[in-house]
């Protein structure tokens, strides 16, 4: 139960802020969502919003159930998670968050949100390369190195088979 609470709090505080609160502030607030008329842009935005949210939540589930941890670096999974979306891309949580931000930029047709998303992608990339990957290499050793050779950092490719 404690693991669920920690995952919930992290999700609300970090991705919730980065992918929902800040984009809505940039766009003009929650009232902009509630008062907007639906057109083709809003319909088009549904796919990245839902896909990004589902991807992130699926990854949190895998982190908790398989990795026995959270997305928070201070309480990271104890086991290497290489299932679900992690079979296709090494950083699906970040891809999911960026998908949600992209969805908001389409929903509001906002260049400011697109620029915010690009800046966020750069921050994510630097964090992954400078902190996460070296830490994971130290923590999981050869199994992480094999995983990195088989699964691309950002671009999905054929599924990773742990048994191979």
CA dihedral angle for residue 132, residue 52, residue 75, residue 118, rounded to 10 degrees: 40
List the one residue out of 79, 98, 93, 95 whose CA is nearest residue 147: 79
From CA 2, how far away is CA 148, in angstroms rounded?
31
Q: Is 68 helix (H, G, I), strand (E, B) or coil?
A: coil
For residue range 90-128, what is the model confidence (pLDDT) as tens digits? 999 999 999 999 999 999 999 999 999 999 999 999 999
Residue 31: pLDDT band with limits 50, 70, 90 = confident
pLDDT above 90 (res 159): no
From CA 5, how far away is CA 73, in angstroms rounded?
16
User: Can you state the angle between helices 40-65 and 2-13, rounded to 10 degrees?
Assistant: 150
* Second-level CATH architecture of 2-150: Up-down Bundle (1.20)
Give the predicted TM-score (pTM) of the model.
0.91
């Amino acid at each position: 139960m404690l693991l669920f609470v920690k995952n919930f709090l992290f999700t609300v505080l970090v991705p919730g802020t980065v992918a929902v609160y800040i984009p809505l502030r940039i766009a003009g607030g929650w009232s902009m969502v509630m008062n907007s008329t639906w057109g083709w842009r809003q319909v088009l935005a549904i796919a990245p919003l839902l896909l990004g949210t589902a991807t992130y939540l699926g990854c949190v589930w895998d982190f908790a159930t398989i990795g026995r941890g959270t997305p928070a670096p201070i309480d990271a999974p104890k086991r290497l998670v290489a299932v679900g979306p992690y079979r296709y891309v090494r950083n699906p949580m970040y891809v999911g968050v960026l998908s949600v931000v992209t969805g908001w930029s389409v929903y509001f047709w906002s260049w400011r949100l697109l620029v915010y998303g690009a800046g966020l992608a750069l921050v994510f990339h630097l964090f992954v390369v400078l902190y996460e990957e070296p830490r994971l290499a130290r923590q999981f050793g050869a199994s992480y190195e094999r995983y990195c050779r088989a699964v691309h950092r950002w671009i999905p490719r054929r599924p990773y088979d742990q048994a191979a």
